[in-house]
A and B are shown apart, each in its own frame.
Chain A
Amino acid sequence: MMAATGESARSLRDIQSKRPDPAALIQARDLRKNYPLAGGEPLPVLHGLDFSIEAGDFVAIMGPSGSGKSTLMNILGCLDVPSSGHYLLNGTDTAGLNPDQLADLRNRLIGFVFQGFNLLPRKNVLDNVALPLVYAGVRRAEREEVARRILTRVGLGDRIRYWPNQLSGGQQQRVAIARALANSPRLILADEPTGNLDTHTSEDILALFGELNRQGLTIVLVTHEADVARRAHRIMSIVDGRIAGILRNIPHDAD
């Protein structure tokens, strides 16, 4: 259907804005992060990022290792707070929040997908997917029903009693995605989600992300693979802790 190659389909457009849209799901204002070094000046990792991500967007963050993209990811995921500047998620400024408030924010608004799947090995598929609901205080019957429904949605409805190590890498990542979806989050944060998977399986997983995005879910995906990034609407390149550019991309779905 798509005649043009990925390269020509892209149009470079700098949408880096000093005044992010206040209605956006994610707003970063002069986001800085310094890491304290023993007996010296703190090491700056992020040098003041300004951007916003609208609800329903699909953004890939690219950058070489050491560029600060993992640090940015941690801040976006409310796993860490910026040293200065502001990060607003769904209108909530994370700057002043304590660890428990951040935990609640993660629980309600964010679903994580990791490169190494990070499933709990002693829990079966169903319990892994239901775990975020445990911390959300949902009753057992209800959370099992939700988990079962989501697992069916990601194509693992027949594997709910399996242990993670009985599944293939692609299936494990599907379980991880199902877990990320369990609390009906506003945002899916995926950190190199296909890094441990072969090309074919990667395609499946990326297709799943595309599908979730089409259903309205906001997805932010960190990767260093151009092929993977091409699935996103926008590609944000980070170099040396600064935004090198944001490309608008015509989504390139599975052929």
Chain B
Amino acid sequence: MTLTDTLEESFQAMGGNRLRTMLTMLGMIIGVGAVVLMLAVGQGAQSMVTESIASMGSNLFIVLSGSSTSGGVRMGGGTIPTLTAADAQAIDELADVAAVAPISPNNAQMVHGPNNWTSMIGGTTPPIFDVRDWAVVSGAGFTDNDVRSATRVVVLGQTVAHNLFGEEDPVGKTVRIKNSPFLVVGVLAPKGQSLDGRDQDDTALMPLTTAQRQLFGNQFPGMVRFIMVKAVSEKAMDRAERQINELLRQRHRIREGQDDDFTVRNLTALAATAAIATRAMSMMLGAIAGISLLVGGIGIMNIMLVSVTERTREIGIRMAIGARRRQVMVQFLIEALIISLAGSLIGVGLGVGGAWLVAEVLGMTVVVTLGSILLSFGVAAAVGIFFGFYPARKAAQLRPIEALRYQ
């Protein structure tokens, strides 16, 4: 008996009871559809998080200046300036640190022609582009020379550039900040949303010296609000954090037992936590969908058992004219497999369609991967074989005389 013969027998049997075959298939369709859709949604969420993490820069620390206490009221991190640009330079000397940039942020209105836009302007140093993995897509970043001579140059984020210049290229043009003209030397690459939903492109960068001396002044000269540090590698992050802590305690002359006047935060670890959370959510969605696949499989077993009982006499006839037990078993197994595979094929279609609908209507990020389709296909086939096996074996082990006598 060839596979073609077996397939034909199976199709004939399924065709004889179309409604039942359809309903059994429906269980698999819903199961596989749900798995594909849920995996798409979960992976969409994951890819969003991954993108945000990548946009933040990798192996990143942020060193915040300490909290101030005013009459028993603690003001929170960064309220008292304890970090200096010199601290940043010292951190840069550490073995496990790749790049360092101090940042002194202030909000200010920028004007170009009839347009104006208020945004955060960060005074910083050129390594910032490296620390944050932030490319300059048009023009160039400012240089160490600009920092030394406090030139009036500015690099605009995408959102700022768009609001001030529209479709125009801002490079070489001038924006006015607090009535002083600043030359736009570059535009940053778009980074999109941060993990907490902030628009990272709504910013502008300029040399630290320019910001502090020419634009905003500084009540504590040389002080910066925070320092961003990039470690040489992910493995080196723990070591780098220890080194930064030791160095700053030493530089700030903090005695043993005294509290730090700064805080080192591992941003990558925070991001990793977010990634783990999304992955967990994505797995949970998949698991819930997997349960419906399981229920679909039980549906197949149920129907196959009914079918075996109903066709007992037919099985008896087939055995009487020479069907071997294995041939009977394979026939029923193939039926279960066809139902589950055809069901999963339709299910994949519906799942992909559903994912598209979710993306269009709800505006969610969904990612349908070949892997998730193959996975649900494979699981469906396994379910078909697993739940089809028992009924098929039951059919094969019928005794021909009893099967023939069955009414």
Contact = CB atoms under 8 A, between A and B. Distances in A.
Nearest to A123: B12
Contacts of A39: none
Interface in B321-350: 321-327
Contacts of A74: 401
B97 interface: no
Contact of B321 (A100, A123, A132): A132
Interface of B: 1-2, 4-5, 9, 12-13, 15-16, 313-314, 317-327, 400-401, 404
A167 interface: no
B320 A79 contact: yes
B326 A79 contact: no
B403 to A, nearest CB: 10
B317 A135 contact: no
Most chain B C-beta atoms within 10 Å of own C-beta, residue among A74, A114, A122, A132: A122
B72 to A, nearest CB: 89
Contacts of B400: 79
Given A134-B1, A135-B327, A79 B404 contact: yes
Most chain A C-beta atoms within 10 Å of own C-beta, residue among B4, B13, B322, B404: B322
B368 to A, nearest CB: 39
Given A103-B324, A112-B320, A134 B5 contact: yes
Interface string A95-113: 0000110011011100010
A122 B13 contact: yes
Interface string A191-206: 0000000000000000
A114 B404 CA distance: 10
Contact of A135 (B4, B12, B313, B321): B321
A122 B15 CA distance: 9
Contact of A183 (B1, B313, B322, B404): B322
A80 B401 contact: yes
A82 interface: no
Contacts of B15: 122
Most chain A C-beta atoms within 10 Å of own C-beta, residue among B320, B326, B404: B320
A122 B324 contact: no
